[in-house]
Chains A and B, each alone.
Chain A
Amino acid sequence: MYVFAKLLKALHSDAGPWSLAFGIMLGMIFGLTPLIKLHNLIILFLVLFCRVNLSTFLVSWGVFSVLAYLLDPLMMNLGEVILTSESLQGIWTSFYNTGFGRLSQFYNTLTMGSLALSLALSPLVLIASRILVVKYRLHVMAWMDEWRVLQVIKSSRVYQMYQSFGG
């Protein structure tokens, strides 16, 4: 309910569709990859420094974190394929021998697999998210405002609390 309310608030706010879409995209990378990694510090910097919508970022992070449990085996296999690929050995070896490379822990199959998958999906998720936001605002938002379920949500204590905290 809280997540849904947060998402609705973002969709119904004045935030631009790109801002919402970037939030979803970066939240996906944050959620799919292991949390305590160097690249997530960069994501955090981008989310906070750029005008990325925090609500969609947090919702997306939560949703993709759950999804990550299901995708872990697939992502580990993908990471192993990438890291053991003959043609990439030179690049990986050079990167492995740098301080940044070691700190990034790219040589872990889950880190590499999840990062590769989320980066590959990023443009798709970004564009699809933007289109969906625009379509929602154009076709669904007015109808949703009238929808009884939404009224119930808006009147719920969680939503009220959320509003009072300025979320």
Chain B
Amino acid sequence: MNKIIRWPGLLGFFGIVGLIGTVFFLFLDTWIKLAATNGLELVTGAEVNIESVSHSFSPFGVTFEKVQLTDPNNPSHNQVQADKLTAQIALAPLLLDKIIIDDLTMSGVAFSQPRESTGRVFRGPEATEKRNKIFDPERIPSVDEILARSPLKTTKAMEEVQASYDFHNENVKTKYAQLPSQEKLKEYKAKLETLTQTDYKDPLKLAEAKKQFDTLREELKQDKQKIEDFTQAAKEAQKDLGPKLAELRLAPEQDYAQLQSLIAGDQAAIQDVTRMILGDKAAVWSNYLLSAYKIAVPLMGNSESEQEKQRAEGKWIAFSDDAELPDIWIKKADISLQWQQEVIASKWLNITHQHDRIGKATTFNIDSSASALWQSLKVDGDFRLSDVGLAANQQWDLKGIKLQQISLMEEQKLTTKVEQALMGSRGSLGVNNGIMKGSGNIDFKQLSMSATGTNNVTKVIAETLTSLNSLNIKTDIAGSFDQPNVSFSSDLDNQLGKTLLTNLSGDQTSKLGELRAKLDAKAQNALGDKNTQMTQWLDWQNIAQGDLGSVENMLSAQFNNALEKEKDKLKDKLKDKLFGN
């Protein structure tokens, strides 16, 4: 036995394994920190900071302190951050690469908070939104530029008129060219008179005349058809072109109404002033709205990118997983959102990305009673991820949220601030196959705003805003979950547009005049030309109508009368001979 076995070697083996184990456990917190940091950076594509990690063995759990996930779209801010995250993890499923967390507690969760230093971004943002150059009346486009870049109704109406004219003109012209000439009509008339008024003594000549009459009648019928075809074509052309010409007459007025805002100020600024005024705060609020998904989805990991990373060391082949457990399952979570000095507690159940495996949706609930900052906050929702995408529902009812000294916008040309207000919001949001659809209201009461502008446009905006004491904003949520499109609208847009138009500078007024003149000239050129064409068609139609009348008269001429007369004469002669009168 001793020939084969080396007993000191056993000690050596356990010594080596023990040493590896000791090193592993001594640096376990560091390994966990590195793994969590790298894993989260892989998922978010931006720098992740974890201040410290600690673990416990019974029950097995990990605690992360001061976790910060950089926002890849805005690296000076954190996408989400948490003061403390504690997770109790089931050990046995870990052997099967299943992270089953029985209890998760996150406290001090906050979104869009500024970072101490700008975070590194490893994957660029999918779409860099360029901030509009807003509220700049000095950069007023020239009238020609406006006309060139704007989708004008006048241009469209002109094109439609031209298309209609081109379509009908050839047809009407061709059919008009086929109409019988006046000479031909006179010829018909002469022939007809000769045939109907001649006294035919010879029956053979009479029969020949009858034949000629029938031929003439046939020709007349054909010409009548041509006249009718032309009349029909001309009527259709008028019916089609008439309304289009009427639209063209109205189009310059409509274009003027639309384009004058471009002269008065920036069109985007006026049409979307609610969003501009709300500025970055809108993004923050929409982040809160989508916070449920923003918390949950990053936690779910990204197996695809993990596989990509490991490929250089061989490929990982996945086999069907018989275990009923999902890869990640947080059975229960208590997450506390930090908002100003208040804490909003939320309760979550069954957070996972494989809901089919557990047969339940993830549910979350916030029900916060009155505090120093609000009267009540209620948010309920659920979501379920499947092969077809994300399906989710969410309702919220927020009452009496106290806003004080909230800076909305700090641009060089305009600064706006809510001095104080009571904000309420109610709405619902649904997600189907990853596409969001929802709406809600944001209601500001007891509103007091301060605003300062530095030019004509922004001064008007500032005055309007400071005069507000309430504001109701309608929100619409659409787009994909990854890139939600939250739109805001209110009556403020129209109000500001009208106010701006009454405060135009001399240059702006002259440009408006030029715009009006150019639009009118553009339409008049087309109108004059096409009106002439229409008049010609009408003239042709009148001529054709007269021709049709004379052809119809000719057709009504009865050659049979002459024939009957001859028949009667023959009958009389026969009677004389028979009865000797």
Tell me the A residues contacting B by CB distance below 8 Å. 34, 41, 44-45, 47-51, 76, 79-80, 83-84, 89, 92-93, 96-99, 102-103, 107-111, 113
B17 — nearest CB in chain A belongs to which residue? A41
A49–B16 touching, CB < 8 Å: no
Residues of chain A within 8 A (CB-CB) of B13 are 44-45, 48-49
Known: A97-B322, A109-B316. 16 other contacts (CB 8 A): A34-B314, A44-B13, A45-B13, A48-B10, A49-B13, A50-B9, A51-B9, A76-B315, A92-B319, A96-B321, A97-B321, A97-B323, A99-B96, A107-B317, A107-B319, A108-B310
Which of A34, A48, A84 has the most chain B CB atoms closer than 10 A to its own CB? A48
Closest 7 pairs between A and B when the two form their complex, measured CB to CB: A110-B314, A99-B95, A48-B9, A96-B319, A48-B13, A109-B314, A97-B322
Taking residues whose C-beta sits less than 8 angstroms from the other chain, chain B's interface range is 20 to 34
The docked-state distance in angstroms from the alpha carbon of A113 to that of B322 is 24
B96–A97 touching, CB < 8 Å: yes
A111–B323 touching, CB < 8 Å: no
| A49/B10 contact (C-beta < 8 A), A102-B95, A103-B95 known | yes
The docked-state distance in angstroms from the alpha carbon of A76 to that of B318 is 15
Query: Is B5 on the interface with A (CB-CB < 8 A)?
Result: yes
A51–B4 touching, CB < 8 Å: yes
A50–B321 touching, CB < 8 Å: no
**Chain B nearest Cβ from A15, distance in angstroms:** 12
B314 — nearest CB in chain A belongs to which residue? A110
**Chain B nearest Cβ from A69, distance in angstroms:** 13
Residues of chain B within 8 A (CB-CB) of A108 are 310, 313-317
Query: Is B6 on the interface with A (CB-CB < 8 A)?
Result: yes
A93–B3 touching, CB < 8 Å: no
Residues of chain A within 8 A (CB-CB) of B317 are 80, 83-84, 92, 107-109
Which of B9, B16, B316 has the most chain A CB atoms closer than 10 A to its own CB? B9
Query: Is B174 on the interface with A (CB-CB < 8 A)?
Result: no
The docked-state distance in angstroms from the alpha carbon of A79 to that of B319 is 14
A109–B315 touching, CB < 8 Å: yes
The docked-state distance in angstroms from the alpha carbon of A102 to that of B95 is 7
Residues of chain A within 8 A (CB-CB) of B323 are 97
B93 — nearest CB in chain A belongs to which residue? A99
The docked-state distance in angstroms from the alpha carbon of A103 to that of B92 is 12
Query: Is B12 on the interface with A (CB-CB < 8 A)?
Result: yes
The docked-state distance in angstroms from the alpha carbon of A107 to that of B321 is 13
A50–B5 touching, CB < 8 Å: yes
Residue in B12, B17, B96 whose CB lies within 8 Å of A102:
B96
The docked-state distance in angstroms from the alpha carbon of A80 to that of B320 is 16
Residues of chain A within 8 A (CB-CB) of B321 are 96-97
The docked-state distance in angstroms from the alpha carbon of A97 to that of B17 is 26
**Chain B nearest Cβ from A61, distance in angstroms:** 14
B11 — nearest CB in chain A belongs to which residue? A48
A110–B313 touching, CB < 8 Å: yes
B320–A93 touching, CB < 8 Å: yes
Query: Is B97 on the interface with A (CB-CB < 8 A)?
Result: yes
A106 — nearest CB in chain B belongs to which residue? B317
B9–A93 touching, CB < 8 Å: no
The docked-state distance in angstroms from the alpha carbon of A80 to that of B97 is 21
The docked-state distance in angstroms from the alpha carbon of A79 to that of B311 is 13
A93–B322 touching, CB < 8 Å: yes
A72 — nearest CB in chain B belongs to which residue? B314
Residues of chain B within 8 A (CB-CB) of A50 are 4-6, 9
Proximity bits, B1-34, A CB within 8 Å = 1, else 0:
0011110011011001100000000000000000
The docked-state distance in angstroms from the alpha carbon of A111 to that of B318 is 14
**Chain B nearest Cβ from A40, distance in angstroms:** 12
**Chain B nearest Cβ from A100, distance in angstroms:** 8
